[in-house]
């Protein structure tokens, strides 16, 4: 039974806190429609691409497609946990979060449909990728159904926000930009990636805030979070390796594997660096953190 209604109390809505500001930003910037993206040039670029180039694009898109589907399906336990805690401003933002993940899933499927890639693409999902998206992610998120301890919430956010979004997806964006933007191909795909990256910057910011809040409330959690991210780090490198193993230096848009690895390592370091800042702040200071300080585009 609900004992109080926050928004009719003197407290009302806290319009100054970060989650509410992210909610407002999502309403302004997150309302884009995947069906409005024009893939006509992408279809032409696809027809002119070599088999190796097509395989490279399909591998990356197939990982994004399955990843976006996974995060759409797996987010609900976190929303339920936040709702049960009565954190109305955070839940309001998370409604936009789920909406956007669903659109990301739609976007990649529309691209695949446009270029006629209607076969089974799961063979592009190497074992390290399957370990993350078929096992670790759903396990960490579904744990929240029966365990809402700070450690369980931290594990879920580390896997979802810090690792899947903040490391793997960011590396994927980098790969797309480096391989396609430099040669001027697939403008529709890149336009959608621009929208995704902007959406995900809000998602990662919320995850950073959530973990910082948990650390602020229980400082010993920082070591727990650091250990969890360190356990996941090798899987990021293994996923990179599986996708770069047959890269052809002669192909337009070739990206040096060492550049991809360095970018991933930088993202891992960046996530911890931002989380460590919670050790020196109060809860109220965290709520007042600017979007820009957390990398929101």
Q: What is the pLDDT of residues 150-202, one digit of tens each?
A: 999 999 999 999 999 999 999 999 998 888 888 899 999 999 999 999 999 99
Encode pLDDT of 203-256 as tens digits: 999 999 999 999 999 999 999 999 999 999 999 999 998 866 666 665 666 678
Q: Domain ranges for the chain, please list them.
A: 25-294
Confidence band for 6, pLDDT divided at 50, 70 and 90: confident
Question: What percent of the chain has pLDDT above 90?
Answer: 81
What is the distance in angstroms between the CA of the first residue and the CA of the last residue of the chain? Answer: 40
Rounded to two decimals, the pTM is 0.93
Q: Compute φ and ψ for 184, nearest 5 degrees.
A: 70, 35
| DSSP one-letter string for 87-118 | -HHHHHHHHHHHHHHHHHHHHHHHHHHHTT--
| Half-sphere exposure in the Cβ direction for 263 (13 Å, CA) | 20
- Mean pLDDT throughout 66-82? 97
The tens digit of pLDDT for each residue in 104-136 reads 999 999 999 999 999 999 999 999 999 999 999
The pLDDT mean for the chain works out to 93
For the record, the structure tokens of 132 come out as 């993350």
Sign of the alpha-carbon dihedral angle for 63, 69, 71, 77? negative
- When the candidates are 3.40.980.10, 3.40.50.920, 1.10.620.20, 3.90.1150.200, the CATH number that belongs to 25-294 is 1.10.620.20
Q: Rounded to whole angstroms, how far apart are CA atoms 200 and 272?
A: 18
């Amino acid at each position: 039974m609900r004992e109080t209604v926050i928004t009719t109390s003197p407290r009302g809505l806290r319009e100054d806190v970060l989650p509410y500001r992210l909610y407002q930003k999502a309403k302004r910037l997150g309302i884009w429609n995947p069906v409005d993206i024009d893939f006509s040039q992408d279809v032409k670029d696809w027809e002119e691409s070599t088999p190796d180039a097509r395989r490279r694009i399909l591998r990356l898109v197939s990982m994004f497609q399955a990843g976006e589907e996974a995060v759409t399906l797996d987010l609900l336990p976190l929303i339920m946990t936040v709702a049960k805690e009565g954190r109305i401003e955070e839940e309001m933002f998370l409604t936009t979060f789920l909406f956007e993940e669903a659109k990301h899933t739609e976007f990649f499927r529309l691209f695949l449909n446009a270029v006629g890639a209607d076969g089974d693409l799961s063979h592009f999902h190497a074992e390290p990728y399957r370990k993350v998206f078929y096992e670790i992610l759903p396990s960490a998120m579904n744990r929240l159904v029966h365990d809402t301890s700070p450690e369980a919430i931290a594990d879920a956010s580390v896997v979802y926000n810090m690792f899947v979004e903040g490391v793997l997806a960011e590396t994927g964006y980098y790969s797309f930009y480096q391989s396609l933007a430099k040669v001027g191909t697939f403008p529709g795909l890149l336009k959608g990636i621009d929208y995704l990256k902007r959406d995900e910057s809000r998602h990662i910011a919320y995850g950073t805030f959530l973990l910082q809040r948990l650390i602020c409330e229980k400082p010993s959690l920082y070591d727990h979070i650091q250990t969890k991210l360190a356990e996941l780090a090798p899987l990021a490198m293994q996923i990179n390796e599986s996708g770069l193993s047959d890269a052809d230096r002669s192909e337009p848009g070739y990206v040096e594997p060492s550049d991809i690895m360095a970018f991933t390592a930088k993202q891992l370091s960046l996530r911890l660096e931002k989380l460590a800042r919670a050790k020196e702040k109060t809860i109220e200071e965290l709520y007042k953190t600017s979007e820009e300080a957390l990398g929101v585009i």
